[in-house]
């Protein structure tokens, strides 16, 4: 799974990326700090199922488990700032846009303080709704441009959906999504000789399916940000907006990294470890402590909401011993798999190994020991043994 971080220049994207991943990247107060995409790992967090089972521990093989919280690794990319006209080549243009083609979801970063305009320049009382709309329009324009480029060839194909799939599969589009977007736009996919207006209508609907967006209202610790956050929530819906402070989260994580404080990302508190901090440090910590208790940095919430709400993933734990909840080495709940809600036991088997899936006979619910069919629809926090005639 890959999450792309997008936004106009100078909205704090690179700071937010660093806070999410703890990767050191170039951060500066001017447009186009990021030229090449930054790649890193963030972690989605959930209460680990071993606590529910009353087990003393788990042996997480991918990610980690900290104090009963299971952390699932998520790939994140931060790309260059997007300016108006990017889909036509302005700014970093199509280089920027193509870096997003493999993303499953996008975090659209805006400046909740209203102190930067759409080009990234300093200003007063900017409306972040305008930034969000500009970025979205550029992304849709980018997708529409790809379709327009190939429309002459596509229009000659009676299987237009297949032709479009060949072009758009690299954007993570599926044939059902293509057909669904065309249907919503009232367009035929049989020899689709679409006008530019038709293509734009199609691209707008398809983009929402293949690149779902959540808005990060960054710099939420700035004075006056509450008003702009309210504007964003009114336009895009509260469930699609996460107020956050990448700068404060990064400061907290750096302090924890050098053992100055004990801080678990997503927590609304921390513990001071340094015995004799300076007055300056104490004042800074007091400010951060008050903000955490009042609103929180919400960077972890942003990762979690993108993973579990926007992309609608659940967690399933495959095991080999359904009685001890272990693999064949005796590791307790070593693997937590993020998988789309509605997936089946057979699809879980495919994630484990293609041979296991091909030889799958049935599954077992490790809690109840009940036998499950291949088409059993998985539930969140299921613990599943796959019984197969094949060996991986």
Q: What is the pLDDT of residue 117?
A: 85
Q: What is the pLDDT of residue 35?
A: 47
What is the CATH code for 2-37+79-231? Answer: 1.10.8.470
DSSP track, 64-91: EEETTEEEEEEEEEE-PPP-TTGGGT-T
Tokens 């999504």 correspond to 177
Q: What is the pLDDT of residue 94?
A: 60
CA–CA separation, 335 and 344 (whole Å): 17
Q: What is the pLDDT of residue 346?
A: 98
Mean pLDDT score, 181-192: 93
CA–CA separation, 392 and 383 (whole Å): 19
- CA nearest to 76, candidates 38, 108, 46, 26: 38
Mean pLDDT score, 227-236: 96
Reported as a single tens digit per residue, the pLDDT across 95-125 is: 666 778 889 999 999 999 999 888 788 888 8
Q: What is the pLDDT of residue 151?
A: 93
Which CATH superfamily is 313-388 part of?
Beta-grasp domain (3.10.20.30)
Cα distances (Å, whole numbers) of residue 42 to 21, 269, 302, 382? 5, 20, 11, 24
Reported as a single tens digit per residue, the pLDDT across 191-220 is: 988 999 999 999 999 999 999 999 999 999
Q: What is the pLDDT of residue 30?
A: 42
Tokens 């690794």 correspond to 73
Q: What is the pLDDT of residue 391?
A: 66
CA–CA separation, 16 and 342 (whole Å): 31
- CA nearest to 91, candidates 120, 115, 112, 114: 120
Reported as a single tens digit per residue, the pLDDT across 32-43 is: 444 456 899 999
CA 126 to chain CA mean position, Å: 26
**Where do the domains of the chain lie?**
2-37+79-231, 313-388
pLDDT at 93 exceeding the cut of 70 = no
Q: How confident is the model at residue 390 (pLDDT cuts 50, 70, 90)?
A: confident
Reported as a single tens digit per residue, the pLDDT across 138-151 is: 999 989 999 999 99
> What number of other Cβ atoms are within 10 A of residue 159's Cβ?
14
Q: Which residues of 66-96 are buried (b: 16+ CB within 10 A; e: fewer)?
A: eeebbbbebbbbbbbbbbbebbeeebbbeeb
Q: How confident is the model at residue 90 (pLDDT cuts 50, 70, 90)?
A: low
The first and second tokens of residue 226, run together, are 């509450």
Tokens 């020899």 correspond to 191
CA–CA separation, 100 and 5 (whole Å): 9
Average pLDDT, the chain: 90
Mean pLDDT score, 352-381: 97
Q: What is the pLDDT of residue 303?
A: 97
> What number of other Cβ atoms are within 10 A of residue 46's Cβ?
18
User: What are phi and psi for residue 317, nearest 5 degrees?
Assistant: -110, 105
pLDDT at 126 exceeding the cut of 60 = yes
Reported as a single tens digit per residue, the pLDDT across 290-334 is: 999 998 999 999 999 999 999 999 999 999 999 999 999 999 999
Mean pLDDT score, 350-359: 95
- Start-to-end CA distance of the chain, whole Å, equals 23
CA–CA separation, 64 and 58 (whole Å): 9
pLDDT at 169 exceeding the cut of 50 = yes
Q: How confident is the model at residue 371 (pLDDT cuts 50, 70, 90)?
A: very high
Residue 3 host element (H or E): strand 2-6
* Structural Rg of the chain based on CA atoms: 23
CA–CA separation, 116 and 239 (whole Å): 24
Q: How confident is the model at residue 127 (pLDDT cuts 50, 70, 90)?
A: very high
Choice among 83-92, 166-175, 232-241, 349-358 with the minimum mean pLDDT: 83-92
The first and second tokens of residue 11, run together, are 């909205």
Q: Higher-confidence residue: 23 or 376?
A: 376
């Amino acid at each position: 799974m890959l999450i792309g971080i997008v936004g106009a220049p100078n909205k704090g994207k690179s700071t937010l990326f660093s806070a999410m991943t703890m990767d050191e990247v170039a951060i500066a107060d001017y447009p186009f700090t990021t030229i090449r995409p930054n790649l890193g790992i963030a972690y989605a967090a959930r209460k680990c199922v071993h606590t529910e089972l009353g087990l003393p521990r788990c042996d997480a093989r991918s990610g980690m488990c900290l104090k009963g919280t299971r952390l699932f690794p998520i790939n994140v990319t931060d790309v260059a700032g997007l300016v108006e006209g990017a889909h036509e080549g302005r700014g970093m243009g199509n280089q920027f846009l193509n870096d997003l083609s493999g993303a499953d979801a996008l975090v659209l970063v805006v400046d909740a303080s209203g102190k930067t305009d759409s080009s990234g320049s300093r200003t007063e009382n900017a409306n972040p709704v305008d930034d969000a709309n500009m970025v979205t329009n550029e992304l849709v324009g980018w997708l529409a441009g790809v379709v327009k480029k190939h429309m002459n060839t596509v229009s000659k194909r009676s299987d237009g959906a297949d032709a479009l799939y060949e072009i758009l599969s690299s954007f993570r589009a599926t044939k059902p999504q293509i057909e669904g977007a065309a249907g919503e736009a009232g367009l035929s996919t049989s020899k689709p000789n679409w006008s530019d207006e038709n293509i734009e209508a199609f691209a707008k609907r398809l983009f929402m399916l293949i690149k779902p967006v959540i808005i990060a209202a960054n710099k939420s610790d700035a004075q006056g940000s509450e008003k702009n956050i309210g504007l964003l929530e009114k336009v895009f819906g509260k469930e699609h907006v996460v107020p956050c402070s990448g700068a404060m989260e990064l400061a907290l994580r750096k302090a924890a990294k050098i053992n100055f404080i004990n801080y678990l990302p997503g927590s609304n508190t921390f513990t001071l470890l340094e015995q004799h901090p300076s007055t300056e440090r104490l004042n800074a910590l007091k400010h951060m402590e008050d903000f955490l208790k009042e609103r929180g940095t919400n960077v972890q919430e942003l990762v979690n909401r993108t993973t579990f709400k926007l992309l609608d993933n659940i967690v399933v734990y495959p095991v080999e011993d359904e009685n001890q909840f272990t693999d064949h080495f005796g590791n307790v709940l070593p693997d937590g798999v993020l998988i789309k809600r509605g997936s089946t036991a057979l699809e879980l088997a495919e994630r484990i190994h293609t041979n296991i899936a091909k030889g799958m006979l049935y599954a077992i619910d490790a809690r109840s020991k009940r036998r499950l069919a291949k088409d059993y629809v998985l539930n969140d926090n299921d613990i599943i043994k796959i019984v197969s005639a094949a060996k991986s």
